[in-house]
Amino acid sequence: MPPLAEWYDLRDLGNAVGAFLDWIRDQGAPDWVPYVVSGVIGILAILVWLLLSQLSFIWIERRVIGRMQSRIGPNRVGPRGLLQPIADTIKLFLKEAITNRHADRPLFWAAPILIFLPALTVFAVIPFGSGMSLADLNVGVLFVIAVSSVNTMAVFVAGWASNNKFALLGAMRTVAMLISYELIQVLALLGIAVFAGSMRIGAIVDWQSHFNTWLLFLQPLALVSFIIASSVEIGRSPMDISEAESEIVAGYHTEYSGIKFGFFYTAEYFAGFAISAITVALYLGGWTAWGLEEWVPGWLLFLAKLYLVFFLFVWTRGTLPRLRIDQLMAFAWKFLLPLALVNVLVTGAEVLIWREGDLSAGLALPIFGIVNAALAVALVIGWATFMGHLRPERRAKRAVLTQELGAIYYRRPAGPLGEA
């Protein structure tokens, strides 16, 4: 059933907006009014949706992580703690937003805004449904990366303007982390652009629905690299070195309190949603689901997939321990970068064989999928073995204090795992 183009056809929300704009035009407004109004409606819709999702996910994340850690999570405020996000928001608004005397005042006040901008701007190029993107740029994929790279500057400005050595140290560590993983993000997205032949995100979603496949099946290594690199980019666990309370107080946002911290907190959630949206649009088929989008509105499917991917981020946060900065950097440069490069090489070769050999898509794509999946598994295991990550002496042993105490308590000689 193709879209009906009536205003009540919710499968494309642009129909309702279009009817409203036609009504405005019929009232005799000048030409630029519908254009501006449509932009404003789109921006407001995205903002409202983002804020509502963020409020919901504060609760969901804390309850889910609580259950994963065998505790209940917030349950004091409202039934089952459902009003916890509202309590958090009110608290952040009412707390005093302290500014140090020696902080660089314009930069100090500009940093929370600067960190907000990339997370919001990314949503301009994401197609929420068919034809439902604010600005379907021809260089959409590159735009996402470019805007995320402004995050680096915002983090540094936040750390510098606090006039606090810990904040500066945390900011510099975070910046080193961010620029390493930016490269891996770009290489992971390069494979997508090579397959789809375009950098426009709408075109990539159309490619996936045209060939009835999700790019996840064709590029598993790139998806994993992209998710890891993105969770580092947004500073979520297990890579939340920038805000590890036990290590660096709170990193680059140590000196921020009140609503300024609220901006950092919110921007982290928005960035998480942005990364999930990009993953869904590029790797998981966006708003298409093998024909289901003719009955169910595409944007509902998109949002469902987005929340699933964000739930994956919440899940890893509750499960995995934090990585050290040197472990993180070694992982990026020695492990992920060669794998991403090999992925780009293999993808290019595959697309070349496909085009030159004039193979049909039904034959070529399953073969490529199987080859890529096998290659991904082989590369990960092989490279890890080659780099020595799987050697017995690299496997984690108990910490020294635990060994000593265990020896005293169990009256056994101290040693790894209790052996002599």
Partner 1 sequence: MEDTGSIVAFWLLAALTVGAALGVAAVRDLIRAVVLLITSFLGVAGLYITLSADFVAVAQVLIYAGAISVLILFAIMLTPRASRDNAETFLQAPGLLLAGLVAFTIAFVSLEADWSVVEREGFEETASVIGEALLSKYVLPFEMASVLLLVSMLGAIVLVRPEGTPEEEE
The residue ranges that bind partner 1 (CB under 8 A) are: 32, 104, 106-107, 110, 137-139, 142-143, 145-147, 149-150, 152-153, 156-157, 160, 172, 175, 179, 182, 198-199
157 or 314, CB closer to partner 1?
Answer: 157
Query: Looking at beta carbons only, is 9 or 206 nearer to partner 1?
Result: 206
> How many residues can be counted in the chain?
420
Smallest distance, partner 1 to C-beta of residue 307, A: 29
Nearest to 324 by CA among 254, 238, 227, 394: 238
* Residue 294 CB contacts under 8 Å (≥ 6 apart), including other chains: 1, 2, 11
Smallest distance from partner 1 to CB 275, Å:
17
The answer to whether 389 and 345 have CB atoms below 8 angstroms apart is: no
Nearer residue to partner 1 within complex by CB, 28 or 30: 30
Shortest Cβ 220–partner 1 spacing (Å): 26
Cβ closer to partner 1: 32 or 295?
A: 32
Shortest Cβ 138–partner 1 spacing (Å):
5
Q: Could you tell me the smallest distance in angstroms from the CB atom of residue 395 to partner 1?
A: 18
- Distance from the Cα of residue 273 to its chain's centroid: 6
Q: Is the peptide bond before 321 cis (omega within 30 degrees of 0)?
A: no
Smallest gap from Cβ 257 to partner 1, in A, equals 23
Three-state secondary structure call for residue 406: helix
Sign of torsion, CA 88 89 90 93?
Answer: positive
Residue 172 or 249 with smaller CB distance to partner 1: 172
CB of 177 to partner 1, least distance (A): 12
Residue with tokens 């009232």: 27
Least distance between partner 1 and beta carbon 132 (Å): 21
Q: 56 or 100, CB closer to partner 1? A: 100
Alpha carbon separation from 24 to 9, 21, 41 (Å, rounded): 20, 5, 13
Greatest CA span in the chain, whole angstroms? Answer: 91
Nearer to partner 1, 89 or 133 (CB): 133
CA distance 340 to 186: 9
Nearer residue to partner 1 within complex by CB, 263 or 307: 263
Closest to 282 measured CA to CA, from 81, 176, 84, 145 = 145
Amino acid at 24: I
Cβ neighbours, 10 Å, residue 118: 23
81 alpha carbon, distance to own chain's centre: 26
